Protein backbone atom coordinates (compact mmCIF):
# COMPACT_ATOMS: atom_id res chain seq x y z
CA UNK A 1 0.00 0.00 0.00
CA UNK A 2 1.44 3.35 -1.02
CA UNK A 3 1.99 5.82 1.81
CA UNK A 4 1.14 9.27 0.52
CA UNK A 5 2.05 12.59 2.13
CA UNK A 6 0.88 14.74 -0.76
CA UNK A 7 0.38 18.34 0.41
CA UNK A 8 1.60 17.48 3.91
CA UNK A 9 4.40 19.46 5.57
CA UNK A 10 7.10 17.56 7.42
CA UNK A 11 9.81 19.07 9.64
CA UNK A 12 12.95 16.96 10.18
CA UNK A 13 15.67 18.02 12.62
CA UNK A 14 19.24 16.86 12.15
CA UNK A 15 18.32 16.42 8.50
CA UNK A 16 21.66 17.15 6.81
CA UNK A 17 23.05 13.64 7.21
CA UNK A 18 22.66 10.14 8.60
CA UNK A 19 19.10 9.10 9.39
CA UNK A 20 17.79 12.63 8.89
CA UNK A 21 18.66 12.99 5.23
CA UNK A 22 17.14 9.59 4.41
CA UNK A 23 14.00 10.48 6.37
CA UNK A 24 13.68 13.78 4.49
CA UNK A 25 14.19 12.16 1.08
CA UNK A 26 11.69 9.42 1.86
CA UNK A 27 8.96 11.86 2.89
CA UNK A 28 9.72 13.98 -0.18
CA UNK A 29 9.34 10.93 -2.42
CA UNK A 30 5.92 10.40 -0.82
CA UNK A 31 4.87 13.90 -1.88
CA UNK A 32 5.56 15.96 1.24
CA UNK A 33 6.84 19.51 1.57
CA UNK A 34 10.02 19.31 3.66
CA UNK A 35 11.48 21.67 6.21
CA UNK A 36 15.11 20.56 6.40
CA UNK A 37 16.51 21.61 9.76
CA UNK A 38 20.13 21.29 10.82
CA UNK A 39 22.87 23.27 12.52
CA UNK A 40 24.89 22.54 9.36
CA UNK A 41 23.69 25.37 7.11
CA UNK A 42 25.46 24.16 3.97
CA UNK A 43 24.34 20.56 4.39
CA UNK A 44 20.73 21.54 5.00
CA UNK A 45 20.75 23.88 2.01
CA UNK A 46 22.17 21.26 -0.35
CA UNK A 47 19.60 18.68 0.69
CA UNK A 48 16.69 21.11 0.43
CA UNK A 49 17.83 22.15 -3.06
CA UNK A 50 17.78 18.50 -4.15
CA UNK A 51 14.18 17.91 -3.03
CA UNK A 52 11.06 18.79 -5.06
CA UNK A 53 9.54 21.08 -2.41
CA UNK A 54 11.69 22.04 0.55
CA UNK A 55 13.20 24.85 2.56
CA UNK A 56 16.29 24.75 4.75
CA UNK A 57 16.36 26.27 8.23
CA UNK A 58 19.55 26.50 10.27
CA UNK A 59 18.65 25.35 13.77
CA UNK A 60 20.47 24.83 17.04
CA UNK A 61 18.01 22.33 18.48
CA UNK A 62 19.18 23.05 22.03
CA UNK A 63 18.05 26.71 21.75
CA UNK A 64 14.35 27.38 22.52
CA UNK A 65 14.23 30.48 20.32
CA UNK A 66 15.76 28.59 17.39
CA UNK A 67 13.28 25.72 17.65
CA UNK A 68 10.35 28.10 17.96
CA UNK A 69 11.64 29.98 14.91
CA UNK A 70 11.90 26.68 13.02
CA UNK A 71 8.22 25.93 13.57
CA UNK A 72 7.31 29.51 12.67
CA UNK A 73 9.32 29.23 9.42
CA UNK A 74 7.49 26.03 8.50
CA UNK A 75 4.10 27.63 9.09
CA UNK A 76 5.08 30.72 7.14
CA UNK A 77 6.35 28.71 4.16
CA UNK A 78 3.64 26.06 3.96
CA UNK A 79 0.74 27.26 6.09
CA UNK A 80 1.27 24.76 8.90
CA UNK A 81 2.97 21.51 9.81
CA UNK A 82 1.60 17.97 9.77
CA UNK A 83 4.55 15.90 10.96
CA UNK A 84 7.43 16.74 13.30
CA UNK A 85 10.40 14.36 13.26
CA UNK A 86 12.75 14.98 16.18
CA UNK A 87 15.78 13.23 14.75
CA UNK A 88 18.76 15.30 15.92
CA UNK A 89 20.98 13.46 18.38
CA UNK A 90 24.59 12.61 19.17
CA UNK A 91 26.48 9.79 20.91
CA UNK A 92 29.45 10.28 23.18
CA UNK A 93 32.80 8.58 22.69
CA UNK A 94 32.68 4.99 23.94
CA UNK A 95 34.11 4.75 27.44
CA UNK A 96 33.42 4.28 31.13
CA UNK A 97 30.88 6.57 32.79
CA UNK A 98 33.42 7.56 35.46
CA UNK A 99 35.72 8.91 32.75
CA UNK A 100 33.12 11.18 31.13
CA UNK A 101 33.52 14.88 31.84
CA UNK A 102 30.50 16.86 32.98
CA UNK A 103 30.54 19.01 29.83
CA UNK A 104 30.09 15.91 27.67
CA UNK A 105 27.17 14.77 29.79
CA UNK A 106 25.54 18.20 29.66
CA UNK A 107 25.87 18.15 25.86
CA UNK A 108 24.25 14.70 25.72
CA UNK A 109 21.33 15.91 27.80
CA UNK A 110 20.95 19.05 25.69
CA UNK A 111 21.07 17.46 22.24
CA UNK A 112 19.36 14.17 22.97
CA UNK A 113 16.66 15.15 25.48
CA UNK A 114 16.26 18.93 25.61
CA UNK A 115 15.97 19.11 21.81
CA UNK A 116 13.17 16.54 21.76
CA UNK A 117 11.35 18.42 24.51
CA UNK A 118 11.68 21.68 22.56
CA UNK A 119 10.61 20.07 19.30
CA UNK A 120 7.50 18.68 20.97
CA UNK A 121 6.78 21.86 22.93
CA UNK A 122 6.65 24.04 19.83
CA UNK A 123 5.24 21.47 17.42
CA UNK A 124 2.16 20.54 19.47
CA UNK A 125 0.45 23.97 19.19
CA UNK A 126 1.31 24.14 15.49
CA UNK A 127 -0.08 20.66 14.86
CA UNK A 128 -3.25 21.61 16.68
CA UNK A 129 -3.59 24.72 14.54
CA UNK A 130 -3.50 22.33 11.59
CA UNK A 131 -6.24 20.18 13.11
CA UNK A 132 -3.93 17.41 14.30
CA UNK A 133 -0.81 15.59 13.22
CA UNK A 134 2.05 13.34 14.22
CA UNK A 135 5.33 13.56 16.12
CA UNK A 136 7.98 10.89 15.56
CA UNK A 137 11.01 10.88 17.85
CA UNK A 138 14.18 9.00 16.95
CA UNK A 139 15.32 7.15 20.06
CA UNK A 140 17.50 4.00 20.08
CA UNK A 141 17.32 0.34 20.95
CA UNK A 142 20.21 1.22 23.29
CA UNK A 143 17.52 2.49 25.65
CA UNK A 144 16.22 -1.07 26.00
CA UNK A 145 19.41 -3.09 25.52
CA UNK A 146 22.19 -0.80 26.78
CA UNK A 147 25.78 -1.60 25.87
CA UNK A 148 28.67 -0.92 28.26
CA UNK A 149 30.60 2.23 27.52
CA UNK A 150 27.57 4.19 26.34
CA UNK A 151 25.73 4.52 29.62
CA UNK A 152 24.83 8.21 29.43
CA UNK A 153 23.83 7.98 25.76
CA UNK A 154 21.67 4.95 26.59
CA UNK A 155 20.02 6.91 29.39
CA UNK A 156 19.21 9.88 27.17
CA UNK A 157 17.47 7.61 24.68
CA UNK A 158 15.55 5.99 27.51
CA UNK A 159 14.29 9.46 28.37
CA UNK A 160 13.13 9.94 24.78
CA UNK A 161 11.10 6.74 24.95
CA UNK A 162 9.48 7.78 28.23
CA UNK A 163 8.77 11.28 26.90
CA UNK A 164 7.21 9.77 23.79
CA UNK A 165 4.88 7.51 25.73
CA UNK A 166 3.93 10.17 28.27
CA UNK A 167 3.23 12.84 25.67
CA UNK A 168 1.19 10.42 23.57
CA UNK A 169 -1.28 10.18 26.44
CA UNK A 170 -1.35 13.95 26.92
CA UNK A 171 -2.10 15.02 23.36
CA UNK A 172 -4.33 12.24 22.02
CA UNK A 173 -6.56 11.89 20.13
CA UNK A 174 -5.75 14.75 17.73
CA UNK A 175 -1.97 14.24 17.82
CA UNK A 176 -0.15 10.93 17.72
CA UNK A 177 3.35 10.56 19.19
CA UNK A 178 5.58 7.60 18.35
CA UNK A 179 9.27 6.73 18.36
CA UNK A 180 11.70 4.69 16.29
CA UNK A 181 14.40 2.71 18.11
CA UNK A 182 17.23 1.90 15.67
CA UNK A 183 20.12 -0.41 16.33
CA UNK A 184 23.62 0.84 15.46
CA UNK A 185 23.99 2.23 11.95
CA UNK A 186 27.14 2.98 9.99
CA UNK A 187 26.59 6.73 9.65
CA UNK A 188 28.33 9.74 11.20
CA UNK A 189 27.25 8.18 14.50
CA UNK A 190 30.22 5.82 14.17
CA UNK A 191 32.78 8.61 13.95
CA UNK A 192 31.35 10.32 17.03
CA UNK A 193 31.36 7.02 18.86
CA UNK A 194 34.77 5.65 17.90
CA UNK A 195 36.69 8.50 16.27
CA UNK A 196 36.87 6.49 13.02
CA UNK A 197 34.98 7.04 9.76
CA UNK A 198 34.08 3.35 9.67
CA UNK A 199 33.08 0.94 12.40
CA UNK A 200 36.26 -0.94 13.43
CA UNK A 201 36.16 -4.56 12.27
CA UNK A 202 36.37 -6.16 15.69
CA UNK A 203 33.68 -3.90 17.13
CA UNK A 204 31.47 -4.40 14.08
CA UNK A 205 31.79 -8.19 14.37
CA UNK A 206 30.94 -8.08 18.07
CA UNK A 207 27.91 -5.86 17.62
CA UNK A 208 26.53 -7.60 14.55
CA UNK A 209 26.86 -10.96 16.29
CA UNK A 210 24.04 -9.84 18.60
CA UNK A 211 21.72 -8.88 15.74
CA UNK A 212 19.73 -11.86 14.38
CA UNK A 213 19.39 -10.23 10.95
CA UNK A 214 23.21 -10.16 10.81
CA UNK A 215 23.72 -6.54 9.79
CA UNK A 216 23.57 -3.01 11.12
CA UNK A 217 20.61 -0.73 10.43
CA UNK A 218 20.58 1.30 7.25
CA UNK A 219 19.30 4.89 7.22
CA UNK A 220 16.58 3.70 4.85
CA UNK A 221 15.37 1.15 7.42
CA UNK A 222 14.84 4.02 9.84
CA UNK A 223 13.28 6.29 7.22
CA UNK A 224 10.77 3.63 6.15
CA UNK A 225 9.68 3.05 9.75
CA UNK A 226 9.36 6.77 10.41
CA UNK A 227 7.24 7.20 7.28
CA UNK A 228 4.93 4.40 8.35
CA UNK A 229 4.44 5.66 11.91
CA UNK A 230 3.57 9.11 10.55
CA UNK A 231 1.16 7.77 7.93
CA UNK A 232 -2.61 7.46 7.98
CA UNK A 233 -2.17 3.67 7.83
CA UNK A 234 -0.73 3.88 11.37
CA UNK A 235 -3.64 6.04 12.49
CA UNK A 236 -4.43 3.91 15.56
CA UNK A 237 -0.81 3.79 16.74
CA UNK A 238 0.31 6.20 19.42
CA UNK A 239 2.86 5.76 22.19
CA UNK A 240 4.48 3.09 20.03
CA UNK A 241 8.28 2.83 20.26
CA UNK A 242 9.18 0.65 17.29
CA UNK A 243 12.38 -1.39 17.49
CA UNK A 244 14.15 -1.15 14.13
CA UNK A 245 16.95 -3.39 15.26
CA UNK A 246 17.05 -6.61 13.26
CA UNK A 247 16.03 -8.49 16.40
CA UNK A 248 18.72 -7.07 18.71
CA UNK A 249 16.14 -6.40 21.44
CA UNK A 250 15.05 -10.05 21.61
CA UNK A 251 18.56 -11.43 22.12
Q: Which entry of 78, 122, 153, 228 is annotated as an active-site residue?
A: 153
- Cα angle, residue 168 at apex, residues 163 and 169 outer, rounded to 5°: 105
Give me the torsion for CA of 235, 241, 245, 246, rounded to 10°. -50
Specify burial of residue 171 (Cβ count, 10 A radius: 0-12, 13-18, 19+): buried
Q: Where are the domains of the chain?
A: 9-242
pLDDT tens by residue, 166-182: 999 999 999 999 999 99
Bridge partners of residue 39, in order along the sequence: none
* φ, ψ at 36 (rounded to 5°): -90, 110
Burial (0-12, 13-18, 19+ Cβ within 10 Å), 42: exposed
pLDDT at 71 over 90: yes
Q: How far apart are the first and last CA of the chain?
A: 31
> What integer pLDDT is reported at residue 193 of this predicted model?
62
Across the range 17-44, mean pLDDT stands at 97
Angle at the Cα of 193 from the Cα atoms of 190 and 196, rounded to 5 degrees: 55
Q: Is 136 helix (H, G, I), strand (E, B) or coil?
A: strand
Q: Which of 193-197, 228-232, 237-241 has the lowest mean pLDDT?
A: 193-197
61-65, 114-118, 144-148, 184-188: which has the minimum mean pLDDT?
Answer: 184-188
Residues 27, 83 contacting (CB under 8 angstroms): yes
> Are 228 and 234 contacting, i.e. CB atoms less than 8 angstroms apart?
yes
Please give the DSSP secondary-structure letter assigned to residue 137: E
State the architecture of 9-242 in CATH terms: 3-Layer(aba) Sandwich (3.40)
Q: For residue 195, what pLDDT is reported?
A: 64
Nearest to 241 by CA among 164, 169, 173: 164
Q: For residue 153, indicate whether it is catalytic.
A: yes
178, 241 contact by CB (below 8 A): yes
pLDDT band (50, 70, 90) for residue 197: low
Q: Are 37 and 14 in contact (CB under 8 A)?
A: yes
CA nearest 185: which of 47, 19, 38? 19
Position 191 pLDDT exceeds 60? no
Amino acid sequence: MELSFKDKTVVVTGAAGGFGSSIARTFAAAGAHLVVSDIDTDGAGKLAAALPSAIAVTTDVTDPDAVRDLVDAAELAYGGIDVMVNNAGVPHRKGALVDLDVGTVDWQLAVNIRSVFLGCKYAVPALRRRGGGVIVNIASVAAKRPRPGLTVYNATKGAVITMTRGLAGEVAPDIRVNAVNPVVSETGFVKSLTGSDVLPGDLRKDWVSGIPMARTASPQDVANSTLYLASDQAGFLTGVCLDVDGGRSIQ
